[in-house]
Every structure is written in C-alpha cells, then in structure tokens.
Amino acid sequence: MNNIFKFIVISMFCCKQLFADVVAVNNNQIKELLKSGVSIIDIRTPAEWKNTGIIPKSNLLTFFDNSGNYNFDKWQKELKKIISNNDPFVLICRSGRRSGIVANMISKESNAIIYDANGGINSWINADLKVIKP
C-alpha cells in the first residue's frame, strides 16, 4: 500500500510539471510584466479592438469568432509564431471570462506560465490606462 501511495504522489508531481500554470493578474501586475518584456495576446475580435482600442504592444489574435466558434489547433499555430513554447505571456479579452477559458485550454498543451488578465480590457480602461487604436 505504501508503494502505491508513493507512486500516486510522484505521478501527481510529474503531471503537474507537464502543464502550464495559469496566474490571474491585475492591471499593476500586467504593467510590470509588459515592462519586463512579457508579451500580451489580445484574443478579442477585430470589432472589439476597434471599439475600445488595445493595450500598446498587444499581439492581436482572435480566439472565438462572432458566433463563439474557434479552431484551437489553428489558433495555437498562430500563437507559436508570436510566443515560443516556454515563454510566459498575458492573455486578455473584454472582461476576463474568455481569457480564463483559453488560458485553461492552453495550460493542458503547454508548460509556459500563462497570465490571465483579471477584468480584461474593461478593467484596464476603467483604470484610465493607455489604449491605442489597433
């Protein structure tokens, strides 16, 4: 029985190492991450970018289309053109709901740290932080 317990504990530790960590971050943390060179991926639609603006230096990569559909494999290939496999990055959407969903999906496929922007671009704008036209 003791060996089975050890196997389970070791397996859990090893499996955890295979997946990315998703870390919720606020606006101040996002600013610091951007200063340190961490990329930001805005997963909203082009209409949303145009409507609200984007955070400077954002990489624009729509995940869900206007109907809520997505192609994870295609999107991930595009992401890999922007982010190396193990590089950390920030995901942002309008409110934080979609970025949380996407972060959890990516975490099963990657071992990078994924920062999920709490409150999304709405929080950023409400804090009177800079946005630019896409």
Q: Where are the domains of the chain?
A: 20-126
> Residue-wise over 27-46: b if at least 16 C-beta within 10 A, else e?
beebbebbeeebbbbbbbbe
pLDDT tens per residue, range 37-75? 999 999 999 999 999 999 999 999 999 999 999 999 999
How far apart are the two ends of the chain, measured CA to CA in Å? 59
> How far apart (Å, rounded) are the C-alpha atoms in residues 93 and 78?
17
Q: Which CATH number fits domain 20-126: 2.60.120.260, 3.30.1490.20, 3.40.250.10, 3.30.360.10?
A: 3.40.250.10
> How far apart (Å, rounded) are the C-alpha atoms in residues 23 and 11?
23
Is the overall model pTM greater than 0.75, yes or no? yes
pLDDT tens per residue, range 2-28? 544 343 334 444 444 455 799 999 999
What confidence tier does 92 reach under pLDDT thresholds 50, 70, 90?
Answer: very high
State residue 125's pLDDT score.
Answer: 98
Q: Could you tell me where the beta strands, DSSP code E, fall in the chain?
A: 21-25, 39-42, 59-60, 89-92, 113-117
Q: Pick the more confident residue, 86 or 98.
A: 98
